[in-house]
Amino acid sequence: RIRSAFEKDTEEKRDELHQLSKKLIEREEVLDHRLEELEQRNKKISTEEQKLEKDKEITKDLQIKWREELERVAGISTEEAKRSLLESIKKEARNEAAQIIQQVEKEARETANKKARTILAIAIQRCAVDEATDTVISTLTLPNDEMKGRVIGREGRNIRTFEALTGVDLIVDDTPETVVISCFDPIRRKIAEVSLERLIADSRIHPARIEEIVEKTKSDIEEITQEEGQRTAFDIGIPDLSSELTNLLGKLKYRTSYGQNVLQHSKEVAYIASIIA
């Protein structure tokens, strides 16, 4: 019984080994078939590569022949053609660059003009001031017509002295209680106006008093001019001006141009320039 069981077990295992051996053989056959296919593919690829290499050589030879033929027909070499092409491209690029630059400059000018107008308009609005008007004459009101006679003086000596010392024309006409001071120099006209006001207020009108009052007024106007020049220089941010320039600047207080006070106009220009800067 034991022997029979052993033989039966041995027979089963032999059958299993036979089946495994059969499967291995089948797998080997499959692998061999696949290896054969891979070898065929490699051979085919190698053949295709060789063919491509030959085609490349043929193409290269054809390109050389075509280039030689083109050089023969065109009458120029490849290098010359390259240089000609490069020069043409450079010229075209320069022209395009010049057009772009012109367009940019045009746009920049238009933008700058608009911006400048805007800045000027804003600056003018920010420093807008009242316009001062003046003429070559000044009108002075007298307290009464009797004062006209005192201004003229005996045989006109008062008016002659006054005109000689101030350099103005004093016009006394039929206009009631009014005299006119005429002079193109605004500083002289101002000195004459202030002097005459002081003489009328003092009521002592004679040549000696006229000379005294005129000299005092000139000194006062000179002092006012200097102070005005210093104040203006400080306002516009240049307080270290020389005394001579300060005096000249202060004299602009009494001058006008096209109906506008020159000092005030100069200050406006300085303010606008500072705002733009």
Which of 100-109, 156-165, 174-183 is least confident?
100-109
How sure is the predictor about 131, in pLDDT bands with cuts at 50, 70 and 90? Answer: very low
CA 159/CA 169 separation, integer angstroms: 9
Residue type, 148: K
User: What value does the mean pLDDT take over residues 119-148?
Assistant: 69
Average pLDDT over residues 210-220: 93
State phi, psi for 117 to the nearest 5 degrees: -60, -40
State yes or no: pLDDT of 138 exceeds 90: no
Residues 6+ apart with CB under 8 A from 144: 177
Exposure on the CB side of residue 251, measured as CA atoms within 13 A? 13
pTM: 0.49
Q: Give the CA distances from residue 34 to residues 21, 26, 31, 37, 47, in Å, rounded to whole numbers and listed in that order.
A: 20, 12, 5, 5, 20
What span, in angstroms and rounded, lies between the C-alpha atoms of 182 and 121?
38
Tokens of 215: 């000299």
Reading the block at residue 40, the tokens are 């065929």
Instruction: Report yes or no: 181 and 189 within 8 Å, Cβ to Cβ.
Output: yes
> What's the pLDDT at 77?
66
SS3 for 143-161 is CCCHHHHHHHCHHHHHHHH
Given pLDDT bands bounded at 50, 70 and 90, which one contains residue 130?
very low
Report whether pLDDT(60) > 80: yes
pLDDT digits (tens, 9 = 90+) for 235-245: 888 878 788 88
Asked if the model's pLDDT at residue 268 lies above 90, the reply is no
Report the alpha-carbon distance of residue 205 to residue 134 in Å, rounded.
28
Structure-token pair, residue 228: 């005005």
**pLDDT tens-digit series, residues 245-254:** 888 888 888 7
Average pLDDT over all residues of the chain: 82
Per the model's pLDDT, the better-predicted residue between 204 and 132 turns out to be 204
Q: Which residues pair with 181 in a beta bridge?
A: 138, 170
pLDDT value, residue 211: 94
Mean pLDDT of the 41-45 span: 88
> pLDDT at residue 120 above 80?
no
Any idea which of 77-81, 197-201, 248-252, 262-266 has the lowest mean pLDDT? 77-81
What is the CA angle 268-269-275, rounded to 5? 90
Count CA within 13 A, CB hemisphere, residue 252: 18
Residue 33 tokens, joined: 């078939």
Per-residue confidence at 165, pLDDT binned at 50, 70, 90?
very high
The bridge status of strand 256-257 relative to strand 178-182 is: unpaired
Q: Length of the chain, please?
A: 277
pLDDT of amino acid 219: 93
- The answer to whether the beta carbons of residues 123 and 271 sit under 8 Å apart is yes
Q: Are 210 and 162 in contact (CB under 8 A)?
A: yes
